[in-house]
Structure 1
Amino acid sequence: MAIRTVTHLNFRGDARAALEFYRHVFGGELVAISYRDAHAAQDESEADQIMWGQVASANGFCIMAYDVPSRLAWSPGEIPFFVSVRGDSAEEISAYWEKLMDGAVVVQPLAPSGWAPLYGMIRDRFGVTWVLDVESQQAR
């Protein structure tokens, strides 16, 4: 039996745009079900927001997202989580980094570090903090 973890991101009206952006960055298939699609809309103004969404690619990347309805409390917090993307090569990680840069703020520049051949941290235009690195031999 095998399990895997998938980061699930919570938004307030931006889930579709975020998932489309992540599909652009990482490739793969986007599946999105709105509250309207699921016959679960409690507020007509939020009916087209995402109740469940996912981007999954053949290389193993997978992320889920949804829009928290306005009837529920929601605060993104200061640093509630990081999404870590670990690759095998500098070329792969650099390509993701360049695409994530669209509207982003660099938290830690992409560069060699003491624990990884290449490491960087970026906060994307949706407020999600991404850690990108090339896996070192110690992490295997």
Structure 2
Amino acid sequence: MSLTAVAHLNFTGQAREALEFYQSVFGGQVTVVTYGDFGMPAELPDAGKVVFGQVTADNGFSVLAYDVPGTDGPAAPAAPTTRRENGTTITKEPFFLSVRGTTVDEVSPVWKGLADGATVVEEFGPAPWAPAFGMLVDRFGVTWIIDVAAEHQG
């Protein structure tokens, strides 16, 4: 038996746009099913919203997303609450999404892609605990940590 934990992101009308953006960064396939596809009458405001969406890529990246029904369409993400202060990370967020690779060359394009339209919390670069580390809040309000796994000395 094996288990896989996958982040499930909740949006208020931006799920399709977010999934397409994440596909542009990570590659893979996007799946989008709307409330209308599940039988909601087209004239209802939520019919075109995403009830099930995912991006799955061969590189191991996977994320799920949907639009919370009954919300009033696209809402701007709240201002990021995560910041660096005196060498520490201060946040009110309940979680961060972490993407870890084995080389700087492997994760640099991910950083560059997610940084488009993002608020950078900590620039991507060498860190005392890893060959590279960076933190940002993307254009959808999701906080990401991008890093390179440190080689462990045995």
Superposition TM-score, scaled by structure 1 size: 0.89
- Over 3 Å counting, the alpha-carbon distance change for 1:53 and 1:41 in structure 2 is farther
| Distance change in 2, residues 1:119/1:16 (3 Å) | same
Spell out structure 1 runs of 4+ moving beyond 3 A: 40-43, 75-78
Shift of 1:41: 6.0
Structure 2: how far apart are the matches of 1:52 and 1:89? 33
**Which 10-residue stretch deviates more, 43-52 or 6-15?**
43-52
- Out of 102, 110, 129, the position equivalent to 1:88 is 102
Q: Distance in 2 between matches of 1:21 and 1:57?
A: 13
Report SS of the residue matched to 2:100: strand
Report the counterpart of residue 100 of structure 1 in structure 2.
114
Structure whose CA Rg is larger: 2
Give the drift of 1:137: 2.3
Identity %: 47
More helix by share: 1
Quickly say closer, same or farther: Cα 1:41–1:132, change in 2 above 3 A.
Answer: farther
Q: CA RMSD in A?
A: 2.0
Matched, 1:132 2:124: no
SS of aligned partner of 2:131: coil
Pair 41,63 (structure 1): closer, same or farther in 2 beyond 3 Å? farther
Change (3 A) 1:119 1:40: same
Structure 2 gaps of 5+ residues are 72-76, 82-91
How many residue pairs end up in the alignment?
135
CA 1:41–1:100 in 2, change beyond 3 Å: closer, same or farther? farther
Secondary structure of 1:23's aligned partner: helix
Give the structure 2 partner of residue 31 of structure 1: 31
Per-residue CA distance 1:23-46 (angstroms, 9 max, x = gap): 000000000100001124698111
Equivalent positions of 1:67-82 (< 5 A) are: 67-70=67-70, 78-82=92-96
